[in-house]
Chain A
Amino acid sequence: MNKVITLVLCLLALPGWAVVEYHPFEDPNKEQAYQTLISELRCLVCQNQTIADSNADLAKDLRQQVYDMLQQGKSQQDVVDFMTRRYGDFVMYRPALTMKTGLLWLGPIAFLLIGIVTVVLLTRHKKAAAQTALNSQQQTRLNELLQQGEED
């Protein structure tokens, strides 16, 4: 049993080895900026990973680039501009809202609105239909009246 637990713990620790290189920071703000940036920049080789997650060579180079720029005193926005000028909006997991990315940002809201409007219209329609329908009492009364009319 102990062996199994050891094995499981070892396997759980595997991602710990995946950390590739160490970038020392003296300024905690810069370190924070670095962490934010690398978890928001997309690795273009393996498109569903950030450059923080990816082991690709390019991701390593881009992490180095981010680190160098921050150490040179560049701001977070400078790094974002640098990357989008070269790789396009696709490099950002959350691209800036522009004419080009508008559909991406507003599309889901538009679909949500279409959904809400559809639901509202449908329920109104149903309610109206329900209100015009006669209940069983009214229906019997109607039948009675009709019968009376025929007899007269």
Chain B
Amino acid sequence: MLKLKFLLPLLLFVMLAVFLAVGLRLNPKDIPSPLIDKPAPAFSLPILATPEKTLSQQDLKGRVWLLNVWASWCVSCRQEHPLLLELAKLKRATIVGLNYKDQAQAAGQWLQQLGNPYDTSIMDADGRVGIDYGVYGVPETFVVDKRGVIRYKHTGPVEPGDIERIFLPLLQTLNQEPA
């Protein structure tokens, strides 16, 4: 009994240290999205390449698609860009770019210089659709299944290894699901 009394502070300290150590490793920017397993919010936005035409989430029904939020002013987007190009080559999903609070000309130039991983890019000039998707830090990537339900959200740039570790397995499962 006496022994336990002396060990208790040590045990409490170890517990606290473990909690703090775990806390330090968590990414405070990684906030769980309430949109997971909810239908992708509706949008109908002009296409970057052909602004007279629009794309809506309805047009993508029956397909597994990615919504990658990007902007030419976004520095980390540059960092993840080569990885998106790599993913686009594998053709496992339709990649839609949500060009967030950007200027069409700057966005077009960016794609010309760095390559275009997107099947389509749409322009969210005032960021209104961004609010509907709960975007708070560009870049963000949503994975949407064939029924139009958001299945995964990646906050921040896609890092090397994420494609093999997260995206490819997820896309494989989603592609096997019935439409």
Contact = CB atoms under 8 A, between A and B. Distances in A.
A57 B101 contact: yes
Contact of B33 (A47, A65, A88): A88
- Most-contacted residue by chain A among B31, B33, B126, B130 (CB, 10 A): B31
Majority SS at the chain B contact face: loop
B1 interface: no
A87 B132 CA distance: 9
A65 B137 contact: no
A121 B31 CA distance: 41
A49 interface: no
Contacts of A33: none
B157 to A, nearest CB: 16
Contacts of B126: 61
B178 interface: no
Interface string A48-83: 000000000110011001000000000000000000
Contact of B132 (A84, A86, A90): A86
Contact of B127 (A45, A61, A84, A88): A61
B31 A62 contact: no
Interface in A16-42: none
Given A44-B31, A47-B28, A61-B127, A86 B137 contact: no
A88 B134 contact: yes
A88 B31 CA distance: 8
Given A44-B31, A84-B34, A88-B32, A61 B131 contact: yes
Interface in B39-80: none
User: Which size bracket describes the interface of B in this complex?
Assistant: 10 to 19
A126 interface: no
A40 B136 CA distance: 17
Contact of A44 (B35, B132, B133, B136): B136
Nearest to B33: A88
Nearest to B133: A86
Interface string B65-106: 000000000000000000000000000000000000100000
Given A57-B101, A61-B131, A62-B131, A87 B32 contact: no
23 contacts: A44-B137, A45-B136, A47-B28, A57-B101, A57-B127, A58-B127, A58-B136, A61-B130, A61-B131, A62-B131, A65-B131, A86-B35, A86-B131, A86-B132, A86-B133, A87-B31, A87-B34, A87-B134, A87-B136, A88-B31, A88-B32, A88-B33, A90-B31
Closest 5 CB pairs of A and B: A44-B136, A86-B134, A88-B34, A87-B134, A90-B31
Interface of B: 28, 31-35, 101, 126-127, 130-134, 136-137
